[in-house]
Amino acid sequence: MAIHMQSPEQRKQLVELKDLFIDIGAKDKADAEAMVEIGDPAVIAYGFEEMANGIAIGRAFDDRAGAFVVLEAARLLAKENPNAEVHAVATVQEEIGLRGARTAAFGINPDIGIAVDVTFATDHPNMTEGTKRKSRIELGKGPVLTRGPNINAKLFTLLVETAKEENIPIQINATPGGTGTDANAIQINRSGVSTALIGIPLRYMHSPCELISLQDLEACSKLIAKTVEKITPETNFVPF
């Protein structure tokens, strides 16, 4: 379980061997039995690798995956003729105070900002407790759109409508406070920015063996690009 989801007591305990499992990207028991047999050996070998069912494993997908999504969205937009001025930013020091997002948003002074980050996938055994406190999020089921006070209501609606029109699967995560992502810093920049947060489902956050779905990456980039294409200087994001 990711450290963010652990209780203070759990953080002090070592994980016992009986509580560990090896994630091979299988969809179910039958899929796993087709990949391995009982007694097959395993070794620790951290590094990027594509697994079964469109899943990839690697270090620091938090937030290399987000940087890829932003750049891919910019590449898709470059083929079109968007009415909005687009800035693609890879921020630094998010983990120690959202510092890069603060300076970048201040310098650009955008009308809207879409932050991209990973979010907790809860579709594996040791997140059972976590699912009681978080929305059900699964790998391969599409971008995660956060809804709450950190998010502009009209921008959220535009993302949802665009996803439906483009047949992009989405998942919704309700967050009643700040999100702890760059969306926090963007939203309160200068006199305020209309902000949204797109999450990439990820298993085993802050470990050297994070898992993501490559389909989710593509869907996130497409959703951003298609949404930005709709935005014009006249688009009004005032909620009321």
Q: Strands, DSSP E only, in 74-169?
A: 112-120, 144-147
One digit per residue, the tens of pLDDT, for the chain of length 240 reads 777 777 888 888 888 888 888 899 998 999 999 999 999 998 888 889 999 999 999 999 999 999 999 999 999 999 999 999 999 999 999 999 999 999 999 999 999 999 999 999 988 877 755 445 556 899 999 999 999 999 999 999 999 999 999 999 999 999 999 999 999 999 999 999 999 999 999 999 998 899 999 999 999 999 999 999 999 999 999 988
Q: What pLDDT shows up at residue 131?
A: 47
Q: What pLDDT shows up at residue 9?
A: 85
Q: What pLDDT shows up at residue 21?
A: 85
Q: Which of 51, 66, 111, 65 is nearest to 87 (CA)?
A: 111
Distance CA 26, CA 35 (A): 8
- The full set of domain ranges for the chain reads 3-230
Q: What pLDDT shows up at residue 133?
A: 55
CATH tag, 3-230: 3.40.630.10
Q: Which of 50, 53, 68, 171 is nearest to 120 (CA)?
A: 171
pLDDT digits (tens, 9 = 90+) for 49-86: 999 999 999 999 999 999 999 999 999 999 999 999 99
What is the sign, positive or negative, of the torsion defined by CA atoms of 159, 185, 180, 217?
A: positive
94 is catalytic: yes
Q: What pLDDT shows up at residue 128?
A: 59
Alpha carbon separation from 33 to 8, 13, 29, 37, 211 (Å, rounded): 37, 32, 6, 6, 20
Query: Are the C-beta atoms of residues 194 and 111 closer than 8 Å to each other?
Result: yes
Choose, from 16, 33, 49, 94, the residue flagged as catalytic. Answer: 94
Q: Does this model's pTM top 0.85?
A: yes
Query: Are the C-beta atoms of residues 113 and 91 closer than 8 Å to each other?
Result: no
Q: What pLDDT shows up at residue 124?
A: 80
